[in-house]
A and B are shown apart, each in its own frame.
Chain A
Amino acid sequence: MAIQVTGLKKSFGKVEAVRGLNFSVPAGSICGFLGRNGAGKTTTLKMLQGMIHPDAGHATILGLNIADPAQSVQIRQRAAFVTEEKGTLGYLKVSQVIKITKAFYPNWSNEIEAKLLDTFEIPTDRRVSKLSKGGQTKLSLLLALARGAEMLILDEPTEGLDPAATEQLLQSLVVMSAESQTTVFFSSHQLAEVEQIADRVVIIDKGVTVVEDSLDDLKHNYRRVRLVFDATAPAIPGARIDGRTASLLVRHDHAIDELRALKPASLDIDSVSLKEIFLDSVKGDRS
């Protein structure tokens, strides 16, 4: 496994940000990390990077322990992180930030650097703080993608990017994953983007994992079932009732069998989007 997280916990005062998180990410996969605002995504990513010390639990990246300072350095040598704060060193010029960053990475790709500078149209002689928010995001991504990392851990990588740049980034991630088996673990609120490139998803809510599966399996297991009854639809837990019609999301085939037992006049089964799965996963009260 590229990432293995077991029972990870972190509190800030009385606020439990992460409450025993468990998930794993296979090497070479593209894994979307989803959750509502405040679910604990950024805290988790910062713990993986070594910016925040976990209170309890254990996590490894590329087999290295995140809590061990020496191993954490090795993690940052082999994995690239882009955090939610993408301003890097705002008081320096773009060229200076690139010069500083590339000095740490022997596998730095000048080819990717030049390509992304051109594609993202980043002016190298401008101060980072003078770049637009999107420009700062693009620079952060350039610094992450060009360092030849085995793994990319990205927090909201498309935040502030225009649609064209977003598409270029997503394609770059897919190509890197396919060509060099780079593992990509990224958080996003843009479910369509996750659905476009991810082969796995981890959904967390209130600091715990609620879904962890391959996207194909998720979509295979989840079904939208629409039942029409001869009379008013009976009360079905989790279903939206509208006169004779009931509509609900089910996870397993045996649930569909249970619905058939209600003897509806008709029963239609449709595939669902990641958005529907996400909303269904985070609607419960886990406090």
Chain B
Amino acid sequence: MILLYKSWLEMRVRLAFGLGAISALCLVTIWDYQKLTHNVARDKMMLMLLPFTQQAIDSVTANYSSFIWAHWNAFNQLLLLPMLAMTIASAGILPNGACLRERGDQNSAAAAFMLSLPVRRHTLLLYRGAIGLLALAIFAFVPQLMIVALSPLVSAAYSFQDALAYGAISFAAMLIPYALGLVVSSLIDDDMTSRLSSIFFLIALLILERTINPSQPFAYYRFLSGEAYFTTHEILWIGMAACTLLAAAITWAAIQIVERRDY
């Protein structure tokens, strides 16, 4: 329990920062619906800049669910959620800085302290990972549930079932940047360097997916946005499984690095 308590103490600043950013963007999204008339043509043009299939773009219609998908799932959260996942991971699975920016020497002092305790390294990682997953679940489901709760304020309704489905998809998709963040931060002690490397990777991946033919059977950002659920109303279970397995494999690699590394 004490390791969960410690992990919570070091996670809470990042969690609060992420929740604040998500809540603000969610409010802006819903406010936009009230302020602007739903301009389907403009939304389609916006989506054409991103790596979505023509089928998905064509599916955008004038209803509220379509507006939410185009503005929140396919746009506002697209880079935000993976970046938050990497921010949660970027403190490192062992050094565990709690602030948004930790100096490398503080991280090495924290690592030295944690490694002086009578605990196996993988146990430290297990607790750290568990609290990280909790944060990811909050980041994935809170905005969806906020949309359900706040939609009546703009005289609209949003399906609870859709919220849960998109939340589950976002959660599964965030596992990959989270695991990547763990690997990067297990190799690089300085938080800012590991975070910048992760953000660079995410942006590069977005550009790559946009450049490559977006009709590829599986693309990360399309999966994260819940494009398949939006167009077919069916959860892409194979994508969920692929994200989970890939994240598990990457996390296993991070654990191996930490187990073998000298501090």
Contact = CB atoms under 8 A, between A and B. Distances in A.
Contact of A85 (B9, B10, B108): B108
Interface residues of A, number: 35
Interface of B: 1-2, 5-6, 9-10, 96-99, 102, 105-106, 108-121, 260, 262-263
B118 to A, nearest CB: 4
Interface in A73-104: 73-74, 76-77, 80-92, 96-97, 99-101, 103-104
A51 B111 CA distance: 9
Contact of B109 (A46, A81, A85, A103): A85
19 contacts: A51-B111, A69-B120, A80-B116, A82-B116, A83-B116, A85-B112, A86-B109, A87-B110, A88-B113, A89-B113, A90-B106, A91-B9, A91-B106, A92-B10, A92-B98, A96-B9, A97-B113, A103-B2, A104-B2
A129 B107 CA distance: 11
Contacts of A69: 120-121
A101 B5 CA distance: 12
B263 A52 contact: yes
A53 interface: yes
A49 interface: yes
B109 A101 contact: no
Nearest to B119: A73
A88 B109 contact: yes
Nearest to B259: A69
Contacts of A74: 118
A127 B115 CA distance: 20
Contacts of B9: 91-92, 96
Contacts of B110: 87-90
Contacts of A12: 262
Contacts of A84: 112
A50 interface: yes
Nearest to B263: A51
Contacts of A96: 9
- Of A49, A73, A87, A99, most buried by chain B (CB within 10 Å of CB) is A87
Given A83-B112, A100-B2, A76 B102 contact: no
Contacts of B1: 103
A53 B260 contact: yes
A53 B262 contact: yes
B10 A73 contact: no
